[in-house]
Every structure is written in structure tokens, then in C-alpha cells.
Copies of this chain bind each other. A is one copy, B any other.
Amino acid sequence: MTKRFAMVIAVLLALVVSTSALAANGPFVGDPKEEYYMVTFVSGIEYWKGCFAGMEDAAKLLGVKAIYTGAPQADVNQQVTVLEQVIAKSPAGIAVTCANPDGLRAPIDKAIEAGIPVVTFDADSPLSKRYCYLGTGNYNAGAMAARYLAGLIGGKGEVAISTVTGQLNHEERKAGFVETLAREYPNVKVVATGNDNNDQTIAATLVAGFLQAHPHLSGIFCTDALGGVGAATSVREADKVGKVRIVSFDTDQGTLDLIQEGVIDASIAQGTWNMGYWSMLMLYSVRHDLVRPVEGWQTKGINPLPGVVDTGTNVVTKDNVDAFYVK
């Protein structure tokens, strides 16, 4: 090999190495060893899959690792233990949904104080030091249901509500529904409201009662998916499919199947994928020091991220239901 050729090769090799380094060090190109955790409760349910899919998609785009874990039950002590174990690994960031707002506060604050970015999603711990909460604006979700159901019944008639009494997110959905009707559709009257306790059988009994007591009922809003499936059973048994319109909540398979069959008219889908995707981008942006709301935010008590993201809702109908089945 002549000296000249050796030099050409050396220069080209250097170029390859430096170009690769440039690619690996771009601001949105992470280290494949960087680990971000999603921590849930009742960790086996279908609902979280959509959230984690968004987080995983973003992690792949960023070249980092997203890891799913959680407490098997809706048990706050169990979830605190899981979260403590995750914190002990000093991960690059944590997205956590809270079995209980107060119960999770101490470990969240501990993580933040240890320099681990934390956001909450789906269920918040508002008094904790988490940087952001990403979840459904439930009042707005109820308003969306009100407008859609009112449209289905021509802006007038009697409607009923099947809900989970005393649970904050369900109470907010109900309030958004009731208040939006009162403001925007004065000819739609809410004639009955009941507690289905997030149970399909109880909902079926409740709605059968509604149908008997209110023979002119033209619509039902169910604030939970199992309530919607129960309502569908009773409406079908009373032979009132198409006469009593149903707007339900969430996108589990039972609900989607009933939309395809035309028994449930619509359901309000939560932005689960968006919760995961934007949680991941936020955690990454803080971890890599990309966010600079003001200089020196870290030592001046300044929150680096937006406080709350309403991840939004969409109306699922026969026209778009196929897009919502989990692939």
C-alpha cells in the first residue's frame, strides 16, 4: 500500500467514524441503554396497552428503551413497592398512573428529588412534585358525549345516564354531559341517572328499569365501558335498538363489537396512545436538558414542563370503528 492511499483510507475511515458519532449524538438520538419506565396498577388490563404502545413508539423513534411494569392489583401499597423498586434502578424517567393520588405522592417526590424526571398519566397525583399530568379532560369528554347524543336524537327528547357514582372521573364526565345539555340543548331532558358500579350486570338491570319507567326514552349515556355493554343488552332485549341511542365510553373489544353491530351508536375514545407518546417525549426532553423554560429552572423552583395535558377524546362510530381494534 502506498503512503498516499493509506492516507486517503485513513481520512475516509475518520469520516465514517465522525459521521456516525454525529448521528448518535443528535439531540433526539438517545442511548439504547437509557431506560424509561411506565408504572401502572391492575397492570394486566387491556386499557394500559394503548398507553404503553405510544410510549414504546416514541422510545423507538428516540433510540431508547421503554419498560412496562406495575402492580397486579388496584392496591396502593403494592404500587408504592413497585415504584420504589423502579426508583432504585435510577432510570432515565418514569411515567406513572396513580392508584391513589395521595398514596403515590411520597415516592414520586423522592424520585424528583433524586433527579429522575416523573410525569403522571391517566390518573394524577396533583399535590406531588410530578412535572406534568397527561390524561383525559373528563368534563370535556362528557360534553363531547352530550353533543353527539343530542345530535343523534335531533336535539330533543328524554335521556338517561348510567355512571359510577362517587368516582371523580365519572362524576366529571356526568357533569360535562349534564351541563352541556342544559346550556346547548334545552329540549333534551335528563330524566334518570343511576349507579352501575362499573358492572355489566348491574348496568343491564339499571337500564331495564330506565326503559320501563320512561317509555319515551330516546338516549343513554354510559360513562364506563361495562355500563355500555350492559345497557346494550337491555336495549336489545326490549327490542329498542335504533330507538334508544347509546353513547358509551372507551374502546374495549366488547364495545367496539357492539358498535359494529349497530347496538351501541358511539363511544368516547380516550387518547391513550397520546398519553404514552407525549409522556416519553417530555421525560426525554427533561433528561437530555432540552427544555429551558428559564435558565437555571432546576434550582429556582420552576417547573420545566407544561403542567397538564388534556390528551383529548374522539367519537368512535361505525364509520371509524375498525381503526380502534388493537392490532
Query: Which residues of A approach B to under 8 Å, CB–CB?
Result: 1, 5, 8-9, 12-13, 15-16, 19-20, 22-23, 26-29, 54, 57, 61-62, 134, 137, 140, 269, 271, 273-274, 277-278, 281, 285, 290-297, 300-303, 305-315, 319-320, 323-324, 327
Q: Which residues of B contact A61 (CB under 8 A)?
A: 27-28, 290
A25 to B, closest residue via Cβ: B23
Least distance between A9 CB and chain B CB atoms (Å): 6
5 A-B pairs with the lowest CB-CB distances in the bound complex, closest first: A28-B28, A307-B312, A23-B23, A12-B12, A300-B320
Assess the A12–B16 pair: CB atoms within 8 A: yes
Q: How far is B297's CA from A271's CA once the two chains are assembled, in angstroms?
A: 12
- Chain B residues with CB under 8 Å of A20's CB are 19
Contact B312 A297 (CB under 8 A): no
Q: List 21 A-B contacts (CB under 8 A).
A: A5-B5, A12-B13, A12-B16, A15-B16, A16-B16, A27-B28, A27-B61, A28-B62, A54-B293, A57-B292, A273-B293, A293-B314, A294-B320, A294-B324, A300-B319, A301-B314, A301-B315, A307-B311, A307-B312, A308-B309, A308-B310
| Chain B nearest CB, measured from A1 CB (Å) | 7
**How far, in angstroms, from A291 to B140 measured CA to CA in the complex?**
22
Complex CA gap A20/B312 in Å reads: 38
The answer to whether A293 and B281 touch (CB under 8 A), given A307-B140, A314-B303, is: no
Instruction: Tell whether, in the assembled complex, residue B306 and residue A323 are in contact, meaning their CB atoms are under 8 Å apart.
Output: no
A307 touches B137 (CB 8 A): yes
Q: Are B311 and A323 in contact, CB atoms less than 8 angstroms apart?
A: no
The residue that A9 contacts in the complex, of B12, B285, B315, with Cβ under 8 A, is: B12
Bound-complex Cα distance A1 to B8 (A)? 12
User: Complex formed: what's the CA distance from A302 to B61 in Å?
Assistant: 22
Name 12 extra pairs, CB < 8 A, besides A27-B61, A308-B309.
A9-B9, A12-B15, A23-B26, A26-B26, A26-B28, A140-B308, A274-B306, A294-B323, A294-B324, A297-B323, A300-B320, A303-B312
